[in-house]
A and B are shown apart, each in its own frame.
Chain A
């Protein structure tokens, strides 16, 4: 009993890991509602520009690839912390954070491009409102994830991240993969359907 109840759980699953899974379930409803709003309003704008006018599939394919690769490097980071290889862990977790930041950079320039050359802002039409809100909230989640990853990178120097503490990395990884999966849905629903849908 000396270490408190968190080492003995009814299911054998750590409290924190169960928390993140249930939290991600809640997040599904959040993104589900945003995506539903986008799809309900798809094609309902009374004025342009339309998705096909502004969305740039090649560029966004690159940024999507970057984000997918960040999930790979996240797995490598987790695998290394489990093996106790803290040096390689630092390399891979930093790599993940940089890939995530790169994705955010793509998104920043995409938003700027739309506003300046595509004449699309959140106020322009229904597509603008729904597009920027959905992708903006996804971007905010990626931002939180990047800050989280950099924090883990910092903790590893304090000596707090031992192989037993791989759980902290595991939890961040679950969040990271979730945000990645949401992007796959957004890329399909917004970008692919928007450009090739009709």
Chain B
């Protein structure tokens, strides 16, 4: 195995630190995504907690208004781009190949590249805290407030380059999963036999590849304005700053569904398993997911009801926004229908899934309230919106993520998370969540504006702010309980076995943790809930190991040829990070930043060339 590519010998070790750095195994990359994203989830949580401490009573002076602006901007960016999206990506990586009966993703090295670019993009975005100031203009970064002159310093550059680099990661990963899902399904797994999680991954991936280029163009235009004195958002030159808002929200609303569709996919797997019933209304759930994906493109201007687009535009976007509640409602009824009459086991995973439905309905209803344009004019920029977004993003996406963690942790590690601590974790988090965010509905209705560093005591907002801060601290406790459960279970957790939940999909048909090659024999699929059918063919249980598809498993996977590890995805990603920093610190009229950017681009090019030259997998030794 002495094949050299260029100057470096190809890595062969799959263990130790280098094993992780050069890995192309989708399960390891999923673990890297999950752990990294959870660390950023904690950072975003610290940012939120500092804000809530600042607001716990009127005219409190914990942080300055300047820092507060950076905190709410970075909290949103961290939670959206560095926590929820990569946590979803962690599940895509871990689960998708297992569920469709594949040995890896279509492009294992591209997958590693996606992870490294995500990591470096995340560091780039966060490093403003240490390098002279973070972005401070909200996650939407409206021009001209973010234009040259209006927002000095490098804070916005961290935003522009950070999101651009993260976009590369997301698009690369999405391309990979689209090809994987369409092209690597096990024999017999037709599209309408795919688990709903796979469907939602597919829809999300299409949203990613179509939405991110739009924001990328916006980022480029704003960057050119700031660094090269161009005029895209220069009103004096005739520009229309609403263009930024359109470019941002044309991306920004599909992004909302990028955050929630994977969550819907997770609960669509968890609910049937713990109800011991097939998913109710599978085809209509799939079609609703696709419909949401399409309609997500037709509602962006509901973020702009108060901009003054006129009654026709506002009416059209109000109606499309109301209409999107229909497929969402259909899904909710079908989930409830799945539980109806089932033999329900309230495991922690199931609790989180049911909790998801409960709070997502609350968030969905306040969402429909915003769709009424005149009503939205009253709610715009108040805490009512903050309440809504946290009910759908925290109560929605994050609850589903926790449900997924409790559900698939045994598959990934071979250990069960402790159910007792888990239930405590759920109830503390659930109660803390509602105590923190439900009062924000009242605050918003009472007119408390969001994104303000403090408030006066005679406004009648004191009580609910204090309650919300108390709720935040309860959430912190809930997350700490989860961390305790995670580390405790990793060491002392009960051994899971291949199929701890009596699962329905193919990932439960193989060992926990799965062998590197996943499936010794690629399974053949005869219907939905492929593994369930295998176990309970003709209505009676088939003993483990007795079905056709497991006959060859004593093969132990010898002769299965897996992709070899590689350095080059990491090298290409490092180049992007170097280029990103060069562009952040570019100063008009100076060449130093440009030189660093070019060096970075050159490193990426070396990485890409070496990557293209080396074969995906080295010839086997035997």
Contact = CB atoms under 8 A, between A and B. Distances in A.
B179 A29 contact: no
B182 interface: yes
Interface in B157-208: 171, 175-176, 178-179, 182-185, 189
Interface residues of B, number: 51
B247 interface: yes
B228 A15 contact: no
Contact of A128 (B103, B221, B231, B239): B231
B463 interface: no
Contacts of B209: 22-23, 25-26, 29
A30 B175 CA distance: 15
A152 to B, nearest CB: 11
Task: Tell me the interface secondary structure of chain A in the complex.
Answer: helix
Given A5-B184, A10-B184, A22 B231 contact: no
Contact of A30 (B176, B182, B217, B561): B217
Interface of A: 1-6, 9-11, 13, 15, 18-19, 22-23, 25-27, 29-30, 32-34, 37, 40-41, 44-47, 122-123, 125-126, 128-130, 133, 137, 151
A29 B218 CA distance: 12
Contacts of A128: 230-231
Nearest to B247: A33
A176 B60 CA distance: 60
B214 interface: yes
A7 to B, nearest CB: 11
A27 B224 contact: no
A59 to B, nearest CB: 25
Contact of B230 (A11, A15, A32, A133): A133
A123 B229 contact: yes
Given A13-B183, A26-B171, A44 B238 contact: yes
Interface in B542-584: 559-563
24 contacts: A4-B561, A5-B102, A5-B104, A5-B184, A10-B182, A10-B185, A11-B182, A22-B179, A30-B216, A33-B218, A34-B217, A41-B240, A45-B237, A46-B237, A122-B228, A123-B229, A125-B238, A128-B230, A129-B231, A129-B232, A129-B237, A133-B224, A133-B230, A151-B609
A122 B218 CA distance: 16
B616 interface: yes
A27 B237 CA distance: 29
A13 to B, nearest CB: 7
Contacts of A41: 238-240, 243
Given A22-B179, A130-B232, A45 B238 contact: yes
A11 B183 contact: yes
B513 interface: no
B532 interface: no
A46 B221 CA distance: 19
Contacts of B214: 29-30, 33
A33 B612 CA distance: 30
Contact of A40 (B104, B240, B250): B240
B241 to A, nearest CB: 12
A43 to B, nearest CB: 9
A156 B232 CA distance: 44
Contacts of B104: 5
A32 B297 CA distance: 15
A26 B213 contact: yes
B239 A126 contact: yes
Contact of A27 (B102, B184, B213, B562): B213
A19 B218 CA distance: 25
Given A15-B107, A26-B171, A1 B559 contact: yes
Given A129-B230, A133-B221, A2 B561 contact: yes
B247 A4 contact: no
Contact of B175 (A1, A26, A34, A44): A26
Nearest to B225: A129
A6 B563 CA distance: 11
Nearest to B215: A33
B220 interface: yes
B398 interface: no
A10 B243 CA distance: 42
A7 B367 CA distance: 47
A37 B217 contact: yes
A137 B559 CA distance: 47
Name the residue in B176, B210, B563 with the highest tally of chain A Cβ atoms < 10 Å from its Cβ: B210
Contact of B106 (A15, A27, A151): A15
Contacts of A129: 221, 224-225, 230-232, 237
A4 B107 CA distance: 12
- Closest A-B pairs by Cβ, 8 of them: A30-B213, A33-B217, A29-B213, A129-B230, A26-B209, A46-B238, A9-B183, A15-B106
B617 interface: yes
Given A30-B217, A40-B240, 13 more contacts: A1-B561, A2-B559, A4-B561, A9-B183, A10-B185, A15-B107, A23-B175, A30-B213, A122-B230, A128-B230, A128-B231, A133-B230, A137-B220
Name the residue in A26, A122, A133 with the highest tally of chain B Cβ atoms < 10 Å from its Cβ: A26
Interface string B125-143: 0000000000000000000
B175 A33 contact: no
Contacts of A123: 228-231
Contact of A125 (B220, B221, B224, B237): B237
B371 to A, nearest CB: 25
B413 to A, nearest CB: 26
Given A30-B217, A40-B240, A45-B238, A18 B232 contact: no
Interface in B90-114: 102-104, 106-107
Name the residue in B220, B234, B237, B240 with the highest tally of chain A Cβ atoms < 10 Å from its Cβ: B237
Contacts of A22: 175, 178-179, 209
A34 to B, nearest CB: 6
A15 B183 contact: yes
B238 A40 contact: no
Contacts of B563: 4
